[in-house]
């Protein structure tokens, strides 16, 4: 059984845990582990998203659901990150 990782939040300096499921998620996506706790990340996310409305849409290429600033009725073709990179390479 894998253990959780204890990290110190870069924002509020409190300790937080990265549970094995989260750890696996970050490793799978090749992402660095977060440097701030859930609360700080939530606050930051809300701050960033405040002035931008996000819509739930599907990638026009592979159909995966994603969040975008383009509304459903906008004429733009929406690509997920993967299809976008596939299309430019
Ligand atoms: Zn924090
Ligand atoms: Zn896609």
Q: Which residue has the higher pLDDT, 8 or 68?
A: 8
Tell how far the Cα of 46 is from the centroid of ligand 2, in angstroms. 25
Tell how far the Cα of 55 is from the centroid of ligand 2, in angstroms. 16
Parse the chain into domains and list their residue ranges: 5-49, 55-88
Global pTM value: 0.48
Closest to 69 in 3D by CA, of 85, 89, 48, 83 = 48
Q: What is the pLDDT of residues 17-52, one digit of tens each?
A: 999 999 999 999 999 999 999 899 888 877 765 566
pLDDT interval class at 89 (50, 70, 90): confident
In this prediction, residue 68 carries a pLDDT of 86
Any idea of the CA torsion for 15, 21, 22, 28, to the nearest 10 degrees?
150
């Amino acid at each position: 059984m894998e253990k959780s990782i204890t990290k110190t939040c870069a924002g509020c300096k409190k300790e937080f845990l990265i549970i094995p499921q989260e750890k696996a998620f970050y490793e799978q996506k090749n992402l660095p582990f977060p440097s701030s706790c859930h609360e700080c990340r939530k606050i930051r996310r809300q701050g960033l998203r405040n002035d931008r409305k996000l819509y739930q849409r599907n990638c026009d290429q592979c159909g995966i659901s994603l969040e975008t600033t383009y509304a459903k009725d906008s004429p733009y073709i929406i690509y997920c990150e993967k299809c976008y990179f596939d299309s430019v390479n």
